[in-house]
Amino acid sequence: MKFIPQAIPEVLLIEPKVHGDQRGYFVETFRHDLFEAATGYPVHFVQDNESSSSRGVLRGLHFQLAPYAQSKLVRVIQGEVLDVAVDIRTGSPTFGQHVSALLNDQNKHQLFIPRGFAHAFVVLSEQAIFAYKVDNLYSPECDRGLSWDDPSLGIDWGIAAEEIQLSAKDKQQPKLSELGQCFDYGVNYYA
């Protein structure tokens, strides 16, 4: 299992080792010990989620405010998505910048998105099953969003805008400039 820091180094791309044989394959999808060593701090996942979506569905950009801020460890069980993490920590040298990664059922790559980031994915295959761990429970009160097409973010979603399908909530998310202060770069949201 390789942990590869991305252009925003707190975001990690994880490449698991896939053991193929005549029966199919075996892959470790999560190792607590390797994970703690790679991130440098304890992360305790407390909820597992799964969603299914068809091509063009874009979920996000989403995050939860403290005290329910969440880290996410995301992967694709079936199909392909473009996964995106945006740094929304005020004062961060990479504030407003993003990391994107193609996650699919062939490469089995995962992305680790720390607290202080907004997260989204768009489905590029006909269908996709998306699975992820989070290290804080769902809190509708702390649930927030950011507009997927905010020009200041400059995200290339790899799919025509006309194909994109959003929830009613995600059609009305604020721009980065309208968010206000959600996270501070100096604050340890794991304390």
Ligand X SMILES: Cc1cn([C@H]2C[C@H](O)[C@@H](COP(=O)(O)OP(=O)(O)O[C@H]3O[C@@H](C)C(=O)[C@@H](O)[C@H]3O)O2)c(=O)[nH]c1=O
Where do contacts with ligand X occur on this chain (CB under 6 A)?
49, 51, 59-60, 62, 72, 119-121, 138, 167
**Least distance from C-beta 75 to ligand X, angstroms?**
13
Residue nearest to ligand X (CB): 138
**Least distance from C-beta 63 to ligand X, angstroms?**
7
Nearer to ligand X by Cβ, of 93 and 138: the residue is 138
* Catalytic center residues: 62, 132
Asked if 53 contacts 64 with a C-beta cutoff of 8 angstroms, the reply is no
Single-letter residue type at 184: D
* Dihedrals phi, psi of 29, to nearest 5 degrees: -95, -15
Residue tagged 């005020």 (tokens): 90
**Least distance from C-beta 138 to ligand X, angstroms?**
3
For the chain, helix (H) and strand (E) counts, in that order, are: 1, 15
* Length of the chain as a residue count: 191
d(CA 142, CA 147): 17
